[in-house]
Amino acid sequence: MRKWIVGAGLLYVLYGLFFYWYLFLTGDSSVPEGLKGTSADPATFMNQRELMLTEEYSKIKDFLFFVRIPFEWFLFFILLIAGLSKKMKHWAEQTSKRRFIQIAVYVFSLFLIVTAASLPLDWISYQFSLEYGISTQTTASWIKDQVIDFWISFPLTAGVVMVFYWLIKRHEKRWWFYAWCLTVPFTLFLFFLQPVVIDPLYNDFYPLKNKDLEQHILKLADQADIPANHVYEVNMSEKTNALNAYVTGIGANKRIVLWDTTLNKLDGSEILFIMAHEMGHYVMKHVYIGLGGYLLLSLAGLYVIGTIYKWMISRYGSRLHIAGKSDLAALPLLLVVLGVISFAVSPFTNAVSRHQEKAADQYAIELTENKEAAVSTFQELSKAGLSEANPPFLVKIFKYGHPTIMERIQNVEKASNE
């Protein structure tokens, strides 16, 4: 057990050292020679202090991102190899004879351990965002969000785990397929619920206060043949200086949402460009395409996860103190397999997302016919969030669901020349 723990710890340290070396010492985020002096060059729209802060903050943020991902895998491995997961299961079984209560108790204990162990990294990330002027959130508000995260994630996860163990007992060989069948209505339900139940727990949403701007946005929506009555704004300035807008929900609960920071820092033409971008997602049905793609990917993913989970238990079950696939103590192993698979496919899902975002940008350029507003919008997004215009390759493929700022501005310039 000690050798496995030391080996896993050493592997995690080497992983962290690799990304430190890659991000701080060798990762290339420089501006290509041919783009220097153009509108895509940060030196043309940022001052020296902003350039320095962007470089520093991006490296720290990216490093924390990569270190945070496998931290939970390492923690789950320790719980398994040390027999702690098995002890947690026995304790949960002593609390009640009812299986669903045992599962709820075990998941609650696991969530407490993960939350407590991850808190230092989350706190460090929060402090850096404060130090670099990205976050404006008070400590009390940050803690409140952590508590909300816990009490949303815990019951949802506990419910999913209960269904998982029920399926694996009833349908040992094809549990993954029946799980996917249940995933479809569950995902649709969450998509429908999020704008009106979950999101308001974190922030206040209300119809756009600037009625003149709203009329311009609705007129733009009418040009795009989009049925829209209201645009919503959210008071994100209490938490961040970054800018954003997005489309959320499905059916009657679909919303276009603007952060108030976006309203405060961008002019009318830039806001209209952002709105046109979000309308592009609607017109091209990206929400539904993304949802359909997710469901198809989850079908293949559940099959792969089920296969690896079964193989891991047959090969290492005794060493990890797992009695079988339906053993509650095996949950950390399932979460590790799920996490690794999700991380492995993220370059693919991010690439699809970047393609959709590029298409929405192109749609917005054509709808507004204002390329200058497009360029200035991307420049302001980069400045407000201290975002690198040209991040290193691994950062782009694993983190970026949007094209880089440099790519987005280049795409606008190409459109201008066509």
Query: Cα–Cα distances in Å, from 237 out to 125, 143, 243, 357, 377?
Result: 18, 17, 9, 24, 18
Please state, in angstroms and rounded to a whole number, the distance separating the CA atoms of residues 396 and 405.
11
Query: Smallest Cα–Cα separation from 320: which of 52, 61, 78, 19?
Result: 78
pLDDT at 228: 63
Instruction: Extract the annotated binding site for Zn(2+).
Output: 277, 281, 357
**Nearest CA among 177, 181, 199 for reference residue 190:** 199
Alpha-helix runs per DSSP H in 47-172: 48-81, 84-95, 99-131, 139-170
- At residue 60, the pLDDT reads 96
Structure confidence at residue 416 (pLDDT):
59
**Residue 149 appears among annotated catalytic residues:** no
Catalytic residue among 260, 270, 327, 361: 361
How far is it, in rounded angstroms, from Cα 389 to Cα 102?
49
Q: Report the pLDDT value the prediction gives residue 216, as an integer from 0 to 100.
A: 86
- The phi, psi pair for 359, rounded to 5°, reads -65, -40
Residue 417: predicted pLDDT? 59
Do residues 244 and 259 lie in contact, with contact meaning Cβ atoms separated by under 8 Å? yes
- Which residue ranges are tagged as binding site? 277, 281, 357
pLDDT on residue 418: 58
372 among known catalytic residues: no
User: Cα separation of 191 and 408, whole Å?
Assistant: 28
Which of 278, 327, 388, 407 does the annotation list as catalytic?
Answer: 278
Q: Determine the pLDDT at residue 262.
A: 93
Sequential pLDDT tens for the chain (418 residues): 788 899 999 999 999 999 999 999 998 888 999 899 999 999 999 999 999 999 999 999 999 999 999 999 999 999 999 999 999 999 999 999 999 999 999 999 999 999 999 999 999 999 999 999 999 999 999 999 999 999 999 999 999 999 999 999 888 888 989 999 888 888 888 878 888 888 889 999 888 888 888 888 888 888 777 766 667 899 999 999 999 888 777 766 777 889 999 999 999 899 999 989 988 988 888 888 888 888 889 899 999 999 999 999 999 999 999 998 889 999 999 999 999 999 999 999 999 999 999 999 999 999 898 999 999 999 999 999 999 999 999 999 999 999 999 999 999 988 755 5
